[in-house]
């Protein structure tokens, strides 16, 4: 997983819970906290950090993933030139993530592994799609979609239903309010 994902996570933890908690979380994982934006790292390290942070703060790993996803949307959006004006709504943007953005990410970084979205149905007010990823970060996905809706100034309702027990496949039903 790309270093930008880790660096952004550490910034958020420091800003939200303070330097001491951030350091404790790293220490407990014997992690030196050095992530360069061009480097690639094991996504399991992120999962471990989230589990430790959850123990230190009492916030559930799912809630931590969601807050993180919401906050990283802006950073990811800014990281890819030319996105401004490409999509004009949350639904259109989510389509472009699957059809264009994550494809470009894989071209740029052959060892990156973004998730796949399978589009099940779409109307003007409702999008149903399946999140598919061996990294099982559906709550990061939830936060990213919320961050995306905020970006387009839209109010949406999101329902999540796991398809597989390990949450490697989760159905998202997204409705505009």
- Residue from 49, 129, 148, 170 touching ligand HEM (CB under 6 A): that is 148
State the burial class of residue 49 (Cβ atoms within 10 Å of its Cβ: 0-12, 13-18, 19+).
buried
The residues, any chain, with a CB within 8 Å of residue 53's CB and separated by 6 or more, are: 13, 17, 21, 25, 59, 64
Binding residues for ligand HEM, how many (CB under 6 A)?
25
The DSSP 8-state label assigned to residue 98 in this structure reads I
Contact flag: residue 1 with ligand HEM (CB under 6 A): yes
Identify the residue among 28, 33, 77, 173 touching ligand HEM (CB under 6 A): 77
Among 49, 53, 127, 141, binds ligand HEM (CB under 6 A): 141
Partners of 173 in beta bridges: 128, 159
Q: What is the DSSP letter of 133?
A: -
Angle at which helix 61-79 crosses helix 43-57, to 10 degrees, equals 130
Q: Which of 87, 97, 127, 170 binds ligand HEM (CB under 6 A)?
A: 97
Nearer to ligand HEM, 5 or 13 (CB): 5
Q: Which residues contact 75 (CB under 8 A, 6 or more apart)?
A: 4, 8
> Within a 10 A sphere around the Cβ of 18, how many other Cβ atoms?
11
Shorter beta-carbon distance to ligand HEM: residue 58 or 166: 166
- Residue number of the CB atom closest to ligand HEM: 133
> Nearer to ligand HEM by C-beta: 2 or 64?
2
Among 129, 145, 156, 174, binds ligand HEM (CB under 6 A): 145
Structure tokens at 46: 């992120």
Q: Which stretch binds ligand HEM (CB under 6 A): 6-14, 59-67, 119-127, 129-137?
A: 129-137
For ligand HEM, the closer CB: 24 or 74: 74
What's the rounded Cα separation, in Å, for the pair 56 and 58? 6
Chain positions contacting ligand HEM, by CB under 6 A: 1-2, 5, 76-77, 79-80, 93-94, 97, 101-102, 105, 112-115, 133, 135, 137, 140-141, 144-145, 148
């Amino acid at each position: 997983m790309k270093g930008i994902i880790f660096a952004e996570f550490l910034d958020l933890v420091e800003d939200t819970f303070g330097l001491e908690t951030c350091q404790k979380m790293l220490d407990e994982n014997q992690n030196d906290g050095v992530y360069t934006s061009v480097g690639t790292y094991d996504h399991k390290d992120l999962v471990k950090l989230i589990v430790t942070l959850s123990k230190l703060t009492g916030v559930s790993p799912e809630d931590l993933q969601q807050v993180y996803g919401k906050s990283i949307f802006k950073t990811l959006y800014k990281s890819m030139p030319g996105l401004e004006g490409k999509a004009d709504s949350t639904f259109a943007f989510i389509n472009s993530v699957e059809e264009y953005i994550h494809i470009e990410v894989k071209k740029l970084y052959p060892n990156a592994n973004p998730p796949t979205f399978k589009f099940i149905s779409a109307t003007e007010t409702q999008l149903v799609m399946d999140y598919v990823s061996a990294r099982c970060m559906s709550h990061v996905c939830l936060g990213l979609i919320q961050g995306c809706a905020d970006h387009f100034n839209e109010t949406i309702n999101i329902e999540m239903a796991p398809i597989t027990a390990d949450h490697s496949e989760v159905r998202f039903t997204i409705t505009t309010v």
